[in-house]
Amino acid sequence: MGSENCSYVSFQNVQKTYDGEVLVVKDFNLDIAQGEFVTMLGPSGSGKTTCLMMLAGFETATQGEIFVDGVPVNNLAPHKRDIGMVFQNYALFPHLTIAENLSFPLTVRKLPKHEIEARVKRSLDMIELPQVAGRRPGQLSGGQQQRVALARALVFEPKLILMDEPLGALDKQLREQMQYEIKHLHERLGITVLYVTHDQTEALTMSDRVAVFNEGVVQQLASPTELYEAPANSFVAQFIGENNKISGTVATIQDNHCDVTVGNHRVKAQPVNVLTTGKPTTLSIRPERIKINPNPDQCDNRFEAQVLELIYHGDHLRTRIQLMDDDQFIVKLPNASEPLKIAKGDAIKVGWNSKDCRALDAISSL
């Protein structure tokens, strides 16, 4: 079965339970092409790290098979899987120098001394830290330590790298910088990466595809653009980016359009997880897709609202409005050269296009 699969990594009907009753991972299927960067994204306890650890060999699948390059690895010891690992806590040996930390996986593999020295030098050059070879981890900054941990995972030239929340301990600016560094390394080296995070920005920035997890089940597997622009259900819409959510009832459905009743209003939307009229639905609209005081020809949804709060964010103005009995409705307005002439308390009109409004499965609490 594995040899017929053209993917480099393949999870096939994988399940995991620790107590024999509750499934932490439920019927997980995922194929990763060679050279692809795939992120498993989800809240804590959703099963993403468990999947990573089963691939690494630190956890055993209760059911199903895992293949790497067509070879089943369920019963293969971790050190025989030829997989590089990068953890959140760096996992560097504090008593060894950086050069010795990088040498360790090569020494274990019994490479010649001259080859070890050449690879260590090449790895330090790759992460642009050739000057730290003689230092110990405690003498480096958090960002430098994380780069060294990445170099150690790459030094023995594995074809597959697993990363478990590797940037979680870094501050915001350094985390953003490391996202680009990891992505550029991936593109330059052509390695296959499976990355685990609960940070949606990391997932959207770095990945070729993202698997969104919840309660042990993949809710959607898609490119970052598709996840953001076309969430498959309410969980994905809530978890990826910011959304305004409105509860309503499906009034009409025709082709790729539907009308949703919200109180005394009718909202035009694209039906996603609604099949019949009379059913509850959750409308999802991105804050940046909403227009203030639009012309009639700009939007096919237009409603009256009131400005409750204006917050300056530098590149955009975050505007909280009262709309359809919802006082937490958010509009993001770009910081244009001409200031927006609205103020707290103003009565305004807002609008959006039906193609930017998705009718999803109903959620019990918003």
Residue ranges per structural domain of the chain: 2-234, 243-361
pLDDT at 5: 52
Q: Please list the rounded mean pLDDT of every run of 10 residues in the chain (366 residues).
A: 67 94 93 96 91 95 96 92 84 92 91 94 89 94 88 88 86 84 87 93 94 92 94 91 93 93 95 89 95 88 96 90 94 80 92 94 62
> What is the phi/psi pair of residue 179, to 5°?
-60, -45
- Whether this prediction's pTM lies above 0.95 is answered by no
Indicate the residue type of 285.
Answer: I
User: Pairing state of beta strands 217-222 and 71-72?
Assistant: unpaired
Q: How far apart are CA 245 and CA 238, in angstroms?
A: 8
Domain 243-361 has CATH 2.40.50.140: yes
Those residues with Cβ within 8 angstroms of residue 21's Cβ, 6 or more apart along the chain or in another chain: none
* Domain 2-234 top-level CATH class: alpha beta
- Contact between 219 and 238 under an 8 Å Cβ cutoff? The reply is no
Tokens of 167: 């940037």
